[in-house]
């Protein structure tokens, strides 16, 4: 954008400000696309590693153990905590997927911009 702005005679500060707004808009759109892709697709988008699978099994075992040992108010508090933590983990996963989607887009655009076959800056 700076190169295009300079060709059009825009002052450097205006071009930088405009490029920040452009980038923020681009990231917002890409995050929307990523979240739509993650939630609206019937395909599994996130591969679960063996370490994650083993950790999940341990968490499930500990959950059952705690549910069997707790009662009354403690059990209700634990279940509320588990539900809140599960929501947080889901949001973390969504954020990580979106960040990876944006990062991948930036990488591919950088590669395409400087490739011999498709140089955007010619």
Q: How many CA atoms lie within 13 A of 11 on its CB side?
A: 3
CA distances from 37 to 26, 40, 93 (A): 16, 6, 13
Residue 16 pLDDT: 72
Model confidence, pTM = 0.68
User: What are the tens digits of pLDDT across the range 7-42?
Assistant: 666 666 676 777 778 888 899 999 999 999 888 877
Please enumerate in sequence order all residues whose Cβ is within 8 A of that of 66, keeping only pairs 6 or more positions apart, or say none: 78
Residue 89 pLDDT: 94
Which of 39-43, 47-51, 83-87, 104-108 reaches the highest mean pLDDT?
83-87
Which residue would you say has higher pLDDT here, 3 or 65?
Answer: 65
Please enumerate in sequence order all residues whose Cβ is within 8 A of that of 44, keeping only pairs 6 or more positions apart, or say none: none
User: What are the tens digits of pLDDT across the range 53-101?
Assistant: 999 999 999 999 999 999 999 999 999 999 999 999 999 999 999 999 9
Q: Is the pLDDT at 121 greater than 70, yes or no?
A: no
- The whole-angstrom separation of Cα 54 and Cα 57 is 5
């Amino acid at each position: 954008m700076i190169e295009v702005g300079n060709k059009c005679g825009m002052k450097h500060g205006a071009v930088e400000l405009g490029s920040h707004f452009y980038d923020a808009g681009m990231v917002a759109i890409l995050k929307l696309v990523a979240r739509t892709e993650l939630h609206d697709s019937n395909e599994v988008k996130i591969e679960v590693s063996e370490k994650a699978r083993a950790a999940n099994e341990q968490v499930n075992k500990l959950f059952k153990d705690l549910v069997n040992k707790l009662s009354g108010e403690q059990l209700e508090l634990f279940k509320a905590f588990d539900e809140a933590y599960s929501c947080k983990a889901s949001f973390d996963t969504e954020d990580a997927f979106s960040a990876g989607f944006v990062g991948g887009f930036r990488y591919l655009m950088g590669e395409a911009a400087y490739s011999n076959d498709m140089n955007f800056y010619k």
